[in-house]
Structure 1
Amino acid sequence: MATSLNQNICFIGGGNMAQALIGGLLSRGLPTTRITVSDPVEQIRQILEEKGIQTTTDNLEAIKNADVVVLAVKPQVLATVLQPLKDLLSDKLVISIIAGAEIQTISDLIGGSQRIVRVMPNTPALVQTGAHGIYASEAVNAQDRELTSQILAATGLAIWVDTEAQIDAVTAVSGSGPAYFFYLMESMIRAGKNLGLDEKVATALTLQTALGAAQMAITSSNSPAELRKNVTSPNGTTQAALEVFDRAQISQNIQAALAAAQKRSQELAQELSDKTKSV
């Protein structure tokens, strides 16, 4: 592990995504003594303590010796959590994985510091195959950016975007993206059953096909469009299925769906900003 990651990292919130990042960091060799988690839920603290992680219910105590503070709480409690920490985070790198929490919203709550990185993760981080979109303002230097990349790369792909507005697009594509694939899997399994397959058989075939297709797309020099064409024989079974998709305008509907997800992401960010201003 690179020495630049030999930092004290505090997680405010110890839920699934925080645990995914912690698991990735431990697998990369970060000592448990470098990690502290603050969470009010006893069961969560017990799970982490069994891994040797230091836990507490006191956020002030948790951040005391931290170099990096990862915000991993629910959006609705963001203001409540951060107000007692106001002016105490200016010397720390703050990484937020809170959906809808814009950098300015967080900055206002912590006293004006702009040393904040905003991340849109996704749930496959739980199995170290996440896809993280990352944005930071110019106040975050190259060293902090590299440190952030290393922390997130422990659980998957970490990609920086050029503007904070693009985080809403990341939310639509990869943040919500796993649900789209699960939806397709559900539909394929149901179709397999309707065609006479046992549910276990239909499920196994669907999941392995999804894994194989993703692996081919990742490792191939061809684009997904080219790979699709390669398995579509003229007048064959695949073409018959794809023609049904085209008649139903599946591609257009997917694009409309992601646009709706992006719009909702923008709305949630505005709602959270308005809420914190009124607190």
Structure 2
Amino acid sequence: LRRAIEECKRVILALPEHSERQKDAVVRLIHLRLKLQELKDPGEDEPNIRVILEHRFYKEKSKSVKQMCDKCSTIIWGLIQTWYTCTGGSGTPPARPCFPHPHTDTHLCPPGCYYRCHSKCLPLVSRPCVRAQVSHQAEYQLSICPESGLDSQDYRCAECRAPISLRGVPSEARQCDYTGLYYCSSCHWNDLAVVPARAIHNWDFEPRKVSRCSMRYLALMVSRPVLKLREINPLLFNYVEELVEIR
């Protein structure tokens, strides 16, 4: 197949531009590449469920959706590639106890963290599922961007430990406004999220740049009633009109 692809590319370059024969050769090249990808990624043989670092990965059926892989930061082409999403305990009981509902005897299980990746990237996943953290210890970081410096991280990404620096060599260091830690561009995509500490202490709801892990953690935590505002910052009730009305 590889030889056929190279030969097809050579033929395309040799044929008159925009000719019918060149167009036919381009179509043939596309089919050859798709066939090669199928051989590399035999999706039908992949299991439907994979459990890795408390992620419960389910094989996706959609072939038309285009996503980004959380591991390699490249596009997932659903038409020709097998991919998985961490959707939590769908269909099966959770492996560990979930947190209790405050008003009932039942236990709530948060959904998965929606980490998406190629099938071939699954063995390389190093980020634990934040769903487990939400289940076991549902609380916020309440210090505003608690930075300790790149040197405290040994100039490495806080998640994958890849070398990083503020000068961008070998990889750009991107700070997460929620954790205060620095991440590489693969673990920090400049996603924006409201940071709870800024909202509580400054009544600041301006979205800030956060890492992928923090973004997913905050998304899972958004409906959790874990903040006791009267205890954390009682002065807000004297200065914020909306809070004065509900006090």
TM-score normalized with structure 1 length: 0.22
Greater relative contact order structure (CA < 8 Å, 6+ sep): 1
TM-score in terms of structure 2 length:
0.24
More helix as a share of residues: 1
